[in-house]
Amino acid sequence: MGKRIVIDPMTRIEGHLKIEVEVENGKVKDAWSSGTMARGFEALLRGKDPRDAPYVTSRICGVCYSVHQLTSARALDDAFGAKVPWGGTLLRNLAMGAQYIYDHVLHFYQLSALDYLDIMAVAKYKGRDKDLLAVKDKIVGLVKAKDTFPLTPRYKPDAFCVKDPDIVISAVKHYIDALSMHAKARNMGAIFGGRTPHYQSIVVGGFTQYPDINMVARFRTMLDEQAKFINEVYIPDVLAFGTGPLFPLAKIGLGGGHYNYLAYGALEKDPAGKDLVFPAGAIMGLDPKAIRVQRFDQKKITESVKYAWYNQDKPQHPYNGKQEFDLDQRDAYSFVKAPRYNGKPMEVGPLARMLIAKNPTLIGLVKQGVKPGAVARHAARAIETKLVMDACYKWCDDLLSAMTKPGFKIHDTAHWDPPQKGMGAGFYEAPRGALGHWVKIKNKKIDNYQCVVPSTWNASPRDEQNVRGQYEESLIGVPVPDPDNPLNVVRVIRSFDPCLACAIHLIHPKTNEIRKFTVQ
Amino acid sequence: MTKLNTTDTPTPDNQKKTTVLGVGNLLLSDEGVGVHVVKRLMGMALPPEVEVIDGGVSGLGLMNIVARADHLIVIDAVRAGGPPGSIYRFGSEDLTAHPDTYKMSVHEIGILEVLNLSRFVGQTPKTTIIGVEPKSMEMGMDLSPEIQAKVPRVIELILDELRHSN
């Protein structure tokens, strides 16, 4: 029996994920991924007007709110029989495009980069760049004042951490710049979203707010600034790290997993919706030399609960799934169900999307020896950020041209009222991966509602066949030379951009000291 | 040092801006008290330099909002062990900035961390937090009656704060 290491919580605010690994001879031998918090917000929707669902579901998660709203609207589009006009689709795409940009850049710099840097190396910077010297002064000053949030406390740097002072200091500078870019991209999303956070303009049938030329011009100006950062900082950083200091991790394919990939598809490039920025499809058992993509068929999705605290006797399609908890379920270790596609565990997210799209840049990296795994996930995320950014320019042009045509529409008003009875499915690609919403309507009210979120696919527990979920499988064999510092485990899981949508924001002071501030 | 610049258009009059930011999850009953309060505030007549924001469950997504404020008033559920409905008023400096859990989870970010990050990049609004001790955190979209009854008092405190701010 190897040594057990528990990492809990893996993420703090965005949810409750516990990773447990068994380490033997310096490597992970077995792994368990648990969602430690009961979900089931869907129950809140039963009996409500279906048109409330996009707003309610946008409150599930503090990160993916707009994409829940959109996916919910798409499930309603399907159930109501609404046909979103091209103008509505373009506006939805631009609102989502902003989310992709702010999410992916944030993930690389704020949520991951520090796992790969020896921050203290900045003190050894000998160069003369004024901006970088200011960064050095700042960090050294914070260390002296013992006030180094958000850079520490953290894991001890290991052999794979970048220690070259020049690289580290410029990465820290980019970390700071990325925060500012993130804040601006949020403002960009609000132009069409109506507000941020929690967009309000996405509804069944299309969009609520007509654009004017000034809005498009503002969006474009802000997009220019994001594009400069993405092209000149983000992508070069990811490529330089992936093919440079992190190449040893890339070469061993750290965090590969099952090599099954799934994408539902999203972001239409033409009014017919045939050409997508992210094509739908499935890859079973990747062969990087000859990638075979199967057609996506939603009927192949089931959710198993053998190892999850739910009351259900056999795997069910999400239309029929229920959220009834059973805490006495024998063998259960997670509140996350185990979704399967054609009975198999799948990876969803940027790497899945770029492999399914057979993206030439990613395939080029794979040929250079970057095996599908943690490092390739970061690369795929950067590559698709550029694809979305380029598409945003095209959508701005398309929108300007559509706006000037007579009969410009952004909403299918004829299908605004809920049907007496119906069912619908909404499929989309959240930044973290394939997102699905399923709705059943009875007497014009919601009868059943289910969301299968991206992290449910990736963080899934074992299934009926005892086959591990993708996080679990991706940890097998991962080197953990020091059990007190399981940095590689953290790197692998964070490369997926984990998010178990629960988002509790309660301020919880460490002591009861706060009571002295009671107001009467 | 790089200053965080999030304005996409220059403010013409350079007026000091006060932001009232309600945060919390509307789907978990009293956890959403901050959002319930600001929703009510949005229907009231306030000075033009006051911005009222429903921050919902967003974390780092609030960076743009925090960074453009001169004075920030955060309304949130606060669990400090008092009886449900207790109202607290304090500054961000009164809270433990980084709990021990950070060792294992350095990255995910909530409102306190956003305030810290904002300070890290050299932009620190004067911050007041008005907290309400929740009764129920169960799934549900309404406040408990006890907490609902405190909403007018919280609004009074915000208006007081705004008066002092000018």
Which residue, among A118, A128, A227, A124, has the nearest Cα to A171 in the 3D structure?
A118
Alpha carbon distance B114, A150 (integer Å): 10
Render pLDDT for B59-114 as a digit per residue (tens, 0 to 9): 777 888 888 899 999 999 888 788 999 999 988 777 654 444 333 233 345 677 77
Residues B33 and B132: beta-carbon distance below 8 Å: yes
At residue B107, the pLDDT reads 35
Helix (H, G, I), strand (E, B) or coil at B81: coil
- Note whether B64 contacts A508, CB cutoff 8 Å: no
> Residue B121: is its pLDDT beyond 80?
no
Give A377 to chain B, closest Cα distance, Å: 18
Catalytic annotation on A411? no
- Taking contacts as CB-CB distances below 8 angstroms, the residues of chain B near A134 are 1-2
Question: Residue A190: pLDDT band by 50, 70, 90 thresholds?
Answer: very high
Which residue, among B88, B25, B67, B151, has the nearest Cα to A179 in the 3D structure?
B67
Question: CA distances (Å), A267 to each of A89, A209, A388, A394, in order?
Answer: 9, 19, 8, 12
Residues A22 and A511: beta-carbon distance below 8 Å: no
Render pLDDT for A359-376 as a digit per residue (tens, 0 to 9): 999 999 999 999 999 999
- Note whether A187 contacts B107, CB cutoff 8 Å: no
Computed over every residue of chain B, the mean pLDDT equals 80
Which residue, among A271, A272, A297, A302, has the nearest Cα to A282 in the 3D structure?
A297
- Taking contacts as CB-CB distances below 8 angstroms, the residues of chain A near B110 are 12-13, 505, 507
- A298 versus A59: which is more confidently predicted? A298
- Taking contacts as CB-CB distances below 8 angstroms, the residues of chain A near B134 are 506
At residue B13, the pLDDT reads 46
Alpha carbon distance A475, A16 (integer Å): 19
Residues A389 and A202: beta-carbon distance below 8 Å: no
Residues A242 and A379: beta-carbon distance below 8 Å: yes
- A75 Cβ contact partners less than 8 Å away, ≥ 6 residues apart: A53, A424, A425, A426, A437, A438, A439
At residue A341, the pLDDT reads 97
Chain B interface test: which of A187, A519, A520 (most B C-beta within 10 Å): A519
Site of tokens 């790290």: A241
Render pLDDT for B8-23 as a digit per residue (tens, 0 to 9): 443 444 567 899 999 8
Which residue, among B37, B47, B57, has the nearest Cα to B129 in the 3D structure?
B37
Return the H-helix or E-strand segment holding A455: helix A454-458
- Note whether B59 contacts A10, CB cutoff 8 Å: no
B8 touches chain A (CB under 8 A): yes
Question: CA distances (Å), B154 to each of A392, A499, A507, in order?
Answer: 42, 32, 17
At residue B165, the pLDDT reads 77
CATH code for position A86? 1.10.645.10
Q: How far is CA A155 from the centre of its chain?
A: 23
Strands B71-77 and B87-90: unpaired
Render pLDDT for A207-245 as a digit per residue (tens, 0 to 9): 999 999 999 999 999 999 999 999 999 999 998 888 888
DSSP state of A231: I
Render pLDDT for A12-27 as a digit per residue (tens, 0 to 9): 334 467 788 888 899 9
Amino acid at A97: G
Number of domains forming the structure of chain A: 1
At residue A330, the pLDDT reads 76
- A514 versus A234: which is more confidently predicted? A234
Catalytic annotation on A14? yes
Question: Residue A503: pLDDT band by 50, 70, 90 thresholds?
Answer: very low
- Note whether B97 contacts A149, CB cutoff 8 Å: yes
Residues A182 and A106: beta-carbon distance below 8 Å: yes
Question: CA distances (Å), A368 to each of A239, A243, A355, A357, A392, in order?
Answer: 12, 8, 15, 19, 30
Catalytic residue among A61, A392, A396, A451: A61
Kindly report the length of chain A.
520
Alpha carbon distance A365, A230 (integer Å): 18
> Residue B124: is its pLDDT beyond 90?
no
- Note whether A111 contacts B107, CB cutoff 8 Å: yes
Chain A interface test: which of B106, B124, B137, B150 (most A C-beta within 10 Å): B106
- Note whether A44 contacts B59, CB cutoff 8 Å: no
Alpha carbon distance A100, A433 (integer Å): 11
Helix (H, G, I), strand (E, B) or coil at A253: coil
> Residue A5: is its pLDDT beyond 80?
no
Residues A74 and A427: beta-carbon distance below 8 Å: yes
- Taking contacts as CB-CB distances below 8 angstroms, the residues of chain A near B87 are 518-520
Task: Read off the pLDDT of each residue in A377-388 and give the average, rounded to a whole number.
Answer: 98
> Residue A50: is its pLDDT beyond 80?
yes
- Note whether A65 contacts B57, CB cutoff 8 Å: yes
- Note whether B61 contacts A197, CB cutoff 8 Å: yes
At residue A13, the pLDDT reads 37
Residues B90 and B144: beta-carbon distance below 8 Å: no
Question: CA distances (Å), A109 to each of A231, A237, A382, B3, in order?
Answer: 15, 10, 11, 17
Q: What is the ipTM of this complex?
A: 0.78
The string of DSSP letters for A466-509 reads ----HHHHHHTT-B-S-TT--HHHHHHHHHT----S-----B--
Question: Residue A502: pLDDT band by 50, 70, 90 thresholds?
Answer: very low
Alpha carbon distance A94, A99 (integer Å): 9
Take residue A51 and report the two structure tokens written for it: 């048109």
Domain that holds residue A429: 3-517
> Residue A432: is its pLDDT beyond 50?
yes
Q: How many CB atoms sit inside 10 A of residue A333's CB?
A: 18
Q: Quick one: residue A390, left, alpha or beta (phi over 0 = left, psi -120 to 50 = alpha)?
A: alpha
Q: In degrees rounded to 5, what are phi and psi of residue A189?
A: -60, -35
At residue A145, the pLDDT reads 77
Q: Which of residues 126-155 of B touch A (CB under 8 A)?
A: 129-131, 134, 137, 139-141
- Note whether A197 contacts B112, CB cutoff 8 Å: no
> Residue A332: is its pLDDT beyond 90?
no
B108 touches chain A (CB under 8 A): yes
Render pLDDT for A383-408 as a digit per residue (tens, 0 to 9): 999 999 999 999 999 999 999 999 99
Q: Which of A41, A150, A196 sits opposite B139 (nearest CB)?
A: A41
Helix (H, G, I), strand (E, B) or coil at A283: strand
DSSP state of A322: -
Domain edges within chain B: 18-165
Alpha carbon distance B130, B146 (integer Å): 17
Identify the closest residue of chain A to B55 by CA–CA distance. A197
- Note whether B94 contacts A514, CB cutoff 8 Å: yes
Q: Which of A9, A14, A65 sits opposite B56 (nearest CB)?
A: A65
Helical residues (DSSP H) of A32-161, grouped into ranges:
53-57, 65-80, 86-106, 130-144
Catalytic annotation on A64? yes
Alpha carbon distance B137, A239 (integer Å): 44
Alpha carbon distance B58, A63 (integer Å): 6
Catalytic residue among A174, A182, A432, A462: A432
Which residue, among A233, A236, A234, has the nearest Cα to A244 in the 3D structure?
A236
- Taking contacts as CB-CB distances below 8 angstroms, the residues of chain A near B64 are 182-184, 186-187, 196
Render pLDDT for A261-291 as a digit per residue (tens, 0 to 9): 999 999 999 999 999 999 999 999 999 889 9
Give A285 to chain B, closest Cα distance, Å: 32
Q: In degrees rounded to 5, what are phi and psi of residue A172?
A: -65, -40
Q: What is the CATH number of domain B18-165?
A: 3.40.50.1450
- Taking contacts as CB-CB distances below 8 angstroms, the residues of chain B near A229 are none
Dihedral of the CA atoms A205, A207, A208, A214 (nearest 10)?
-160
